[in-house]
Chains A and B, each alone.
Chain A
């Protein structure tokens, strides 16, 4: 009998997820051993047409990385959803929008206004790319961008979520092991909608730094006090570390290296709005009761939206917003 089919696809993403998968090194051979790779643009030459030709649900497992940024991404999402039994939102872009979803803080018009009028751009006629362009030889088309960045689950039904920017390779390896065990009947799939390849707590759970009862008298920006005390909790040193609200599974890599957690693993289990969890946690431990004093301490977080929604904006309750500043290239 033939091996079950596997697919991995990238939409609006940076390629880091692919690199992370390659970084499981020898393990990649297990995938090859247990699956027929039906579709994996970075690795094999099958094409969208071939996928369309497959019967619905013919692909057992599809790992999707990348957000839904343009019409083409959305089209492919629907196609692979139809063809796959299990569709996994893989990586931060697919699960929560990731950093590129900060673009949701700007109407599309402004993004064009900026990108095609930067100080080094020579664009006297204000040319902007168009979905359809007439050239002497005929018409050229490029997919239109969507009004904002969407997560995979916002356009199609998703079975599992695997966060991380990118997911840590040891977690990818673990998930692949699990799937293989399921194939061999040695394990059960987690319930639909589960978040896989992570811990079930937050980054502090894996962080070796020493912690005390928290009271914050001032927030500092990393360059103001670097290198931080190597033993003590970064938040207690006043560095706005997103660790307390960010799902565990990365082994607290950044805090171990003296850099604050920036939240790439997204919210903990069952959390509706990542940013809200973080802002309520930070605010709760501020050591002040007078509004003026509280405001002074809060000034230590110069970009609250970026701080709290760096990776999660597309999946937040509000999903989008306006930028702090006007674009001012012209």
Chain B
């Protein structure tokens, strides 16, 4: 039997690898996507004081430390049975919105946009952020950098540092926001709203206006009928920081809606011996392997999933775009993976709008930023929406607040099974009779990219996108053909 090793050599060096096995006819028999690292946070956090979890779990992922910081702080609040003052919650969420803006911007422009704005068939040399800048104009490059700067600026103003923020603690935060800082943050927020609108406009003009791109998005290769997960507020609108987790089935009907502490009744994780990463699935549907459909517990947790799982957006401009997307793509739920990019931009707009809302809240500069925990610490769950999926932290402590048990179900992990399925499907669709061509590479790559898989979270190894190299071996092990971009 022939084997194809897809070794994502670059941008995920040593942190993920796909083996595709071909049958006698040279068609795909099976494929395996492997994650080669494990850090053991769930083990070594045991014995640490719970208030350190927002700092320790930051280091799970440097791409979205803010997500871990928040999930950990919320779990710690729950452990101490303490409800932070409103101002503390506002500050945490404000930091989180700013983070979302930088993160979604980075992903869309540096990783996603090239395929659409420059074009999937364009030469590799151009299919990158520089290519995007040439296509859309130089000033956009400056804007992208500006957006990242602003986002990190706010993270630093509220969280103390640009990367790995430090101020969220059980019961609130350690830093009070000054009026000067607030003014500055508000101004940056208003700029962010314009930037988000600009980005959506660009997407509209360049992608949606182009039939080939639209067909690509709506094509079958990137189509999976799965369950979708996302955090929603009391009105079932998308929320990143707080609320209940809502799951809809492939038909878009609400399958379940649970509060953080109930996650155990709904989520389980499957283990395979050939990878360090686990595969979460819906407990009440069950693990049926890497297949989609209503009977498979596989679900997706991405920007698109959040939109699919919600009834709309909580801010006016984002709501408009939300409606437009579903109108364009033929109603809810949308199963086309490439639509994740569009959904991401809508989330960017929501985050920017909400940023302004929070920055203009009269209570945001109140000195009342902490409630002293008084109860005996016990157990608690904290859930936020990380950009790459629902993030669950679950802690148990002794009466001194030292951790005795830790359980983490992390952003990208949620999408491990769907990614595995997408690569598998792309491979099956494109590799026929052992024939592999250059076009396949980017097509498969795009399948990955849509998820923006961040295995920094997943394995506590690395973030990034997956370019590909495919090596085809003869059964005797000789290299038959090497294809790379």
- Do any beta carbons of A and B sit within 8 angstroms of each other in the complex? yes
In the complex, whether B83 has a CB less than 8 A from a CB of chain A is no
Question: What is the chain A residue whose CB lies nearest that of B370?
Answer: A226
Question: What is the chain A residue whose CB lies nearest that of B403?
Answer: A325
Partner of B65, one of A16, A48, A123, A227: A16
CA distance A72 to B16 in the complex (A): 12
In the complex, whether A99 has a CB less than 8 A from a CB of chain B is yes
Partner of B48, one of A19, A73, A118, A303: A303
Q: Is the CB of B63 within 8 A of A145?
A: no
Q: How far is the CB of B334 from chain A (nearest CB, A)?
A: 28
Q: Is the CB of A253 within 8 A of B163?
A: no
Q: How far is the CB of B280 from chain A (nearest CB, A)?
A: 8
CA distance A72 to B62 in the complex (A): 21
Number of chain B residues close to chain A: CB under 8 A? 104
CA distance A110 to B370 in the complex (A): 37
Q: How far is the CB of A254 from chain B (nearest CB, A)?
A: 5
Q: Is the CB of B369 within 8 A of A140?
A: no
Q: Is the CB of A19 within 8 A of B163?
A: yes
In the complex, whether B407 has a CB less than 8 A from a CB of chain A is yes
Q: How far is the CB of B13 from chain A (nearest CB, A)?
A: 4
CA distance A225 to B34 in the complex (A): 46
In the complex, whether A62 has a CB less than 8 A from a CB of chain B is no
Q: Please indicate the chain A residues that have their CB under 8 angstroms from the CB of B21 in the complex.
A: 137-138
Q: Please indicate the chain B residues that have their CB under 8 angstroms from the CB of A222 in the complex.
A: 51, 169, 174
Partner of B456, one of A15, A136, A224, A306: A15
Question: What is the chain B residue whose CB lies nearest that of A99?
Answer: B59
Take A105-B44, A120-B267, A142-B34 as given contacts and tell me if A100 and B51 are in contact as well, using a CB distance cutoff of 8 Å.
Answer: no
Q: Is the CB of B174 within 8 A of A120?
A: no
Question: What is the chain B residue whose CB lies nearest that of A119?
Answer: B407
In the complex, whether B119 has a CB less than 8 A from a CB of chain A is no
Q: Is the CB of A23 within 8 A of B37?
A: no
In the complex, whether B55 has a CB less than 8 A from a CB of chain A is yes
CA distance A171 to B48 in the complex (A): 30
Q: Is the CB of A303 within 8 A of B47?
A: yes
Take A99-B59, A118-B407 as given contacts and tell me if A106 and B43 are in contact as well, using a CB distance cutoff of 8 Å.
Answer: yes
Question: What is the chain B residue whose CB lies nearest that of A47?
Answer: B9
CA distance A279 to B244 in the complex (A): 43
Q: How far is the CB of B277 from chain A (nearest CB, A)?
A: 9
Q: Is the CB of B276 within 8 A of A303?
A: no
Q: Is the CB of B36 within 8 A of A324?
A: no
CA distance A110 to B42 in the complex (A): 10
Bits for A303-327, please: 1 = Cβ < 8 Å to B, else 0. Answer: 1011000100000000000011101
CA distance A223 to B76 in the complex (A): 11
Question: What is the chain A residue whose CB lies nearest that of B455?
Answer: A15
CA distance A140 to B369 in the complex (A): 52
Q: Is the CB of A140 within 8 A of B461?
A: no
Q: Which of A117-138 contact B (CB under 8 A)?
A: 118-123, 127-130, 133, 135-138
In the complex, whether A208 has a CB less than 8 A from a CB of chain B is no
Take A99-B56, A118-B269 as given contacts and tell me if A23 and B163 are in contact as well, using a CB distance cutoff of 8 Å.
Answer: yes
Bits for B154-185, please: 1 = Cβ < 8 Å to A, else 0. Answer: 00100111111011011111111000000000
Q: Is the CB of B61 within 8 A of A15?
A: yes
Take A41-B11, A111-B38 as given contacts and tell me if A324 and B59 are in contact as well, using a CB distance cutoff of 8 Å.
Answer: no
**Interface segment, one of A4-12, A179-187, A190-198, A289-297:** A4-12
Q: Is the CB of A140 within 8 A of B32?
A: yes
Q: How far is the CB of B107 from chain A (nearest CB, A)?
A: 12
Q: How far is the CB of B447 from chain A (nearest CB, A)?
A: 18
Q: Please indicate the chain A residues that have their CB under 8 angstroms from the CB of B273 in the complex.
A: 127-130, 133
Q: Please indicate the chain B residues that have their CB under 8 angstroms from the CB of A99 in the complex.
A: 56, 59
CA distance A118 to B463 in the complex (A): 24
Take A120-B409, A130-B273 as given contacts and tell me if A16 and B62 are in contact as well, using a CB distance cutoff of 8 Å.
Answer: yes
CA distance A137 to B456 in the complex (A): 29
Partner of B169, one of A22, A137, A226: A226
Take A48-B13, A135-B32 as given contacts and tell me if A257 and B166 are in contact as well, using a CB distance cutoff of 8 Å.
Answer: yes
Partner of A115, one of B43, B47, B169, B463: B43
Bits for A208-249, please: 1 = Cβ < 8 Å to B, else 0. Answer: 000000000000011111111010000000000000000000
CA distance A105 to B48 in the complex (A): 12
Q: Which of B36-95 contact A (CB under 8 A)?
A: 36-49, 51-52, 55-56, 59-63, 65, 80
Take A137-B1, A165-B164 as given contacts and tell me if A14 and B485 are in contact as well, using a CB distance cutoff of 8 Å.
Answer: no
In the complex, whether A201 has a CB less than 8 A from a CB of chain B is no
Partner of B372, one of A19, A70, A224: A224
Q: Please indicate the chain B residues that have their CB under 8 angstroms from the CB of A302 in the complex.
A: 49, 400-402
Q: Which of A35-56 contact B (CB under 8 A)?
A: 41-49
The 6 lowest CB-CB distance pairs between A and B, nearest first, are A16-B62, A257-B160, A324-B47, A258-B174, A137-B21, A111-B40
What residues of chain B have their CB less than 8 Å away from a CB belonging to chain A?
1, 3, 9-14, 17, 19, 21, 29-30, 32, 34-49, 51-52, 55-56, 59-63, 65, 80, 106, 124, 145, 148-149, 152, 156, 159-164, 166-167, 169-176, 263-264, 267-276, 278, 280, 283, 287, 367, 369-370, 372-373, 394, 400-402, 404-405, 407, 409, 454, 456, 460-464, 467, 469, 484-485
Q: List 25 A-B contacts (CB under 8 A).
A: A11-B14, A16-B62, A45-B124, A46-B10, A69-B37, A70-B37, A103-B44, A113-B43, A120-B264, A121-B269, A121-B271, A127-B273, A135-B30, A140-B32, A142-B274, A165-B59, A165-B164, A226-B174, A227-B175, A253-B161, A257-B160, A258-B175, A259-B166, A259-B169, A302-B402
Given A130-B274, A324-B46, 10 additional A-B pairs, CB 8 A: A14-B63, A15-B463, A16-B163, A98-B59, A102-B45, A106-B43, A115-B42, A142-B275, A303-B402, A325-B404
